[in-house]
Structure 1
Amino acid sequence: MSLKQYLTSKTFFIQMAIAIASVLVFGYLFMHWLTYTTDHGHEITVPDLRKLSEQQVEDKLDELDLDYVLLDSVDYKKDYPKHSVVEQDPPAGAKVKEDRKIYIKINSSGFTTVRIPNLIEKTYRQAVPTLKSLGLEEGKITYKPYLGKDMVLGMSLNGKKLNPGDKVFKSSKIDLILGDGKVGFEEEVDSVPAAKPETATPSEDE
């Protein structure tokens, strides 16, 4: 049988059909195996763990075949219960595979303390960023007569005077006493008593 006759024969077409069917079946089985081994399509939605205790986190993740790793604690946040989750990674709603580890950070047990910086004779614009960098907040502002406008003259917390170096809790509101800038050079001159006018002394001729 010549090649031309073979290519146009029934046997050739049957063998071609068998070959194509074999490739299709093999491809299907391979993709099915690949999907199974990579667990493709089987994803777990990460739950919201915020404000849950570590024990609650463990119970919740066990139900979903997930695990967790406790990284560390963060500065106390009053909006979260003590020892509850403040941050998590991946975030809630993310899609992950089975046995994926969720990294969490726990709220510390209470406020940490910081030392009051020396803000005396610093400007208001210098004082506020310094307080915020330490985790403190700006409180009530009052003014008193002083040559330097918006110059810090004193600090207090809940009516109690603070000195540089005093310890306070983070997130405390620090009240500031500032100069109003209304005591100027002219007022200082005006405050000097005026010299008494000289009185004429009688001449000897009179």
Structure 2
Amino acid sequence: MAIYLNTRSRKDLIIHLMLVVGIILSLFLSFFFVYLPWSTNHGQSITVPDLRKANLEDVKATLSERKLDYIVSDCTFVPGVPPFTVLSQYPFPNSLVKEGRNIYLTVTMATAPMIRMPDLVSTNMGLRSALSLLRSVGLQEGNIRYIPDIAENAVLEQWYQGKKIEPGTQVPKGSKIELVVGNGIGNTELDVPNLIGVSLEEAEIIIKGSDLRMGTILYKQVPGAAPGTVVEQRPAPGIGTKINVGEIIDLWIAGKPDTDTGEGPTEPERN
């Protein structure tokens, strides 16, 4: 049956055009706001739960209730974290997904991978550098034990599970490595050198040549003493007085500090 529109007047033409535009607009809005959401979701949009820190068995039950599934996309070992614990997920928590969507998970491994123990001893590595290297290869800092040795803060031995460990030995990632470190003071005793009367330069040579260390340098006015010479030291020299290798000797120098270099404070005068 044919439908004839009476467009003999201008008013009828405008009305007919408005009807056509209205029909097209209704179809357009219905497609985007009714049909499209219905056809894509069918009312089955699901909020993704937060699976982080959950065990894989619990994850399976949680996703099954929501008609979702999972795929383990990556595994890594984290010391102290139980095996098969979720570390990250995609899509992220609270995302909206369709029924049956796979959630991609990164979980912890059950067994730690083996890595080679680095050499922290023969390279004369300092403690700070050694700890940084341990962390970079996936090992952890264990007990740090100081022993008398002139090499201050130098790593002298490396231990694992109560035994010395050689470089290149395979150990599980995340293992704790114990370090034996020098405290800067040797266990060898020697007589305290007598520095009274010698110049500051000579005193420095004697101290370093004895494997000792320069301490504080103070200046004091001492009548009759040659400027620039040692008039007092700590520890003081004496028969039978001993000092360990690596220990410090403080010096008092006659006169005033070099005004050009500003070297050394002056001891306050005693009344």
Q: TM-score, normalised by structure 2?
A: 0.57
The amino acid that maps onto 2:68 is L
CA contact (8 A) 2:46 2:98 kept: yes
Q: Distance in 2 between matches of 1:103 and 1:118?
A: 39
Change (3 A) 1:54 1:173: closer
Q: Distance in 2 between matches of 1:55 and 1:142?
A: 42
Q: Distance in 2 between matches of 1:154 and 1:98?
A: 58
CA contact (8 A) 1:77 1:107 kept: no
Q: Distance in 2 between matches of 1:188 and 1:39?
A: 81
Matched, 1:154 2:174: no
CA contact (8 A) 2:116 2:169 kept: yes
Q: What CA deviation, in whole Å up to 9, does each residue of 1:127-172 have, x standing for no partner?
A: 1111101211112222223232211101223443323233333222
The aligned counterpart of 1:88 is 89
The root-mean-square deviation of aligned C-alpha atoms, in Å, is: 3.1
* Superposition map of 1:103-118 within 5 A: 103-118=104-119
The aligned counterpart of 1:196 is none
Counterpart among 16, 41, 59 of residue 39 in structure 1 = 41
Please state which structure has a larger fraction of its residues in helix.
Answer: 1
CA contact (8 A) 1:76 1:109 kept: no
Partner of 1:105, secondary structure, is strand
Change (3 A) 1:104 1:136: same
Q: Distance in 1 between matches of 2:31 and 2:112?
A: 58
Give 1:117 shift.
1.2
Partner of 1:15, secondary structure, is helix
Give 1:85 shift.
2.9
Matched, 1:174 2:177: yes
Q: Distance in 2 between matches of 1:91 and 1:35?
A: 22
Give 1:52 shift.
4.3
Matched, 1:62 2:64: yes
Structure number with greater CO (CA < 8 Å, separation at least 6) is 1
CA contact (8 A) 1:53 1:83 kept: yes
Q: Distance in 2 between matches of 1:87 and 1:175?
A: 32
* Superposition map of 1:71-86 within 5 A: 71-80=73-82, 82-86=83-87
Q: Distance in 1 between matches of 2:151 and 2:55?
A: 51
Give 1:44 shift.
2.1
Give 1:25 shift.
2.5
Count matched residues.
184
Alignment gaps of 5+ in structure 2: 1-7, 187-206, 213-241, 244-271
Q: What CA deviation, in whole Å up to 9, does each residue of 1:7-30 have, x standing for no partner?
A: 2x4x33542442243123222332
Report percent identity of matched pairs: 33
Q: Distance in 2 between matches of 1:39 and 1:186?
A: 84
Change (3 A) 1:188 1:18: closer
Q: What CA deviation, in whole Å up to 9, does each residue of 1:56-83 have, x standing for no partner?
A: 4344323323232222321154323x23
Change (3 A) 1:87 1:155: same
Q: TM-score, normalised by structure 1?
A: 0.71
